[in-house]
Structure 1
């Protein structure tokens, strides 16, 4: 089972979680689709559930409840980017034209987190690890395999993530208008303009991809469990993928990666 090299380099997607109006229903759904184990957490963490795959942390599921005088968070998956200095990242977000939505806060002894948006409106999390480094399994069936920034202004977004996290953006061969995001010398995700065919009100956003060995079968299970298929399975350069939502409306992608060409 692929395990990441820890600690995560700054700018690397290190965790993903979903906010759900019905937390238990979300836990049941993802258990059925991906085989995760997880249960509602203790009150001191707001019930936050750290789900596991084969005994290793894979993703989080939390209840979408208001914080202080704020409305409940939207039912979406959030990508968290690693940092080794969250206060410096907070300052850099503002200097680069982004918005800090939830300022840095301690999460017990696990680490420190914040929520921000880039200048194009894409919301992301930031995680500074202490006792909890992030996902303990990636690139495996049922785990996160790819994180993708879909944006209304790719150039502005690329400049922002470069200034804040030192990420580099390079065109990917064989794919029109698609770019790799690199951090610490490794490709950690991708970015592209908002795809055609999306509703006109669709904002810039980060999209979480989960790996599967059989996209069609996974999509069938998602549909039977009450999810919605936004884009039916199709073949593309990286494999066979589909765009779906869970029963509560959180969008995500599933992909069966294309076999690697022998070197």
Structure 2
């Protein structure tokens, strides 16, 4: 079956990217872990490459310019980009709802209009106004984006933020155990992303953040390769209604999750 480009539906998570300190080393890590290949991204984004699997775009990797004041290193983290029909109106609504907009919105040739924002808890995410991808999204079982999940102090307040900004239907996830502090963001009946109340489990060095799940075939083998390639295994495998998963981090400390999903990932 041919996987053809599709127009963006507002509220869908259309892309993930990671800004790193050493782009060459990060390409080596993620290429070795997920079998990604890379091509050059849009030049206005600086040192930036697109990760490909079987010719389909999966994610983006870019290199940070310089350090913060005082010689401090910026924290690296995967960033989901959420589709919108009007990036400027969405940026204004983010501010109105108590969030912040750190970058843009700005035009990027052959990509669209992008912005980088943070919700009321400080978790960063991107907004993207653009046309269809030049190539359809990769839906394979190895190295595809399977899910994005927000790790927050609590779910109620930040859930209302995303509900108002992106028009999600926000509610408990029936598949989670009773009493779980977990919400699912939906467009109609379609699950788009999750919010997990992590409270005291949030890392001190990053606070609330989005976590990207990448699909794999063999979880144990993947976690062994994470360590062999210089990353860290952060948790033991855990079973959920959606698959067996675990958290890990790359050599620069950016957290991500790997999952053997119970069904193939979707857009």
Please say if 1:212 is aligned against 2:216: yes
Please say if 1:63 is aligned against 2:63: yes
> How large is the RMSD of aligned CA atoms in angstroms?
2.6
Q: Structure 1 unaligned runs (5+)?
A: none
1:22, distance to aligned residue in structure 2 (A): 0.5
Please say if 1:255 is aligned against 2:249: no
1:257, distance to aligned residue in structure 2 (A): 1.2
Contact 1:2 1:139 in 2 (8 A): no
1:141, distance to aligned residue in structure 2 (A): 1.8
Question: Which secondary structure state, in structure 1, belongs to the residue aligned with residue 147 of structure 2?
Answer: strand
1:68, distance to aligned residue in structure 2 (A): 11
Contact 2:125 2:210 in 1 (8 A): yes
Aligned length: 259
Q: Structure 2 unaligned runs (5+)?
A: none
Taking structure 2 as the reference length, the TM-score comes to 0.88
Please say if 1:236 is aligned against 2:237: no
Taking structure 1 as the reference length, the TM-score comes to 0.89
1:194, distance to aligned residue in structure 2 (A): 1.5
1:192, distance to aligned residue in structure 2 (A): 1.5
The residue number in structure 1 matching 2:226 is 222
Distance in 1 (CA, whole Å) between partners of 2:219 and 2:26 is: 20
The residue number in structure 2 matching 1:13 is 13
Contact 1:49 1:62 in 2 (8 A): yes
Contact 1:158 1:168 in 2 (8 A): no
Contact 2:155 2:195 in 1 (8 A): yes
Deviations 1:19-50 (A, max 9, x none): 11110111111111101101454754302101
The residue number in structure 2 matching 1:36 is 36
1:143, distance to aligned residue in structure 2 (A): 0.8
Structure-to-structure mapping, 1:5-154, within 5 angstroms: 6-41=6-41, 43-66=43-66, 73-130=74-131, 132=133, 136-138=137-139, 140-154=141-155
2:187 corresponds to which of 167, 183, 186: 183
Which consecutive segments of 4 or more residues in structure 1 shift more than 6 A?
none
1:156, distance to aligned residue in structure 2 (A): 1.3
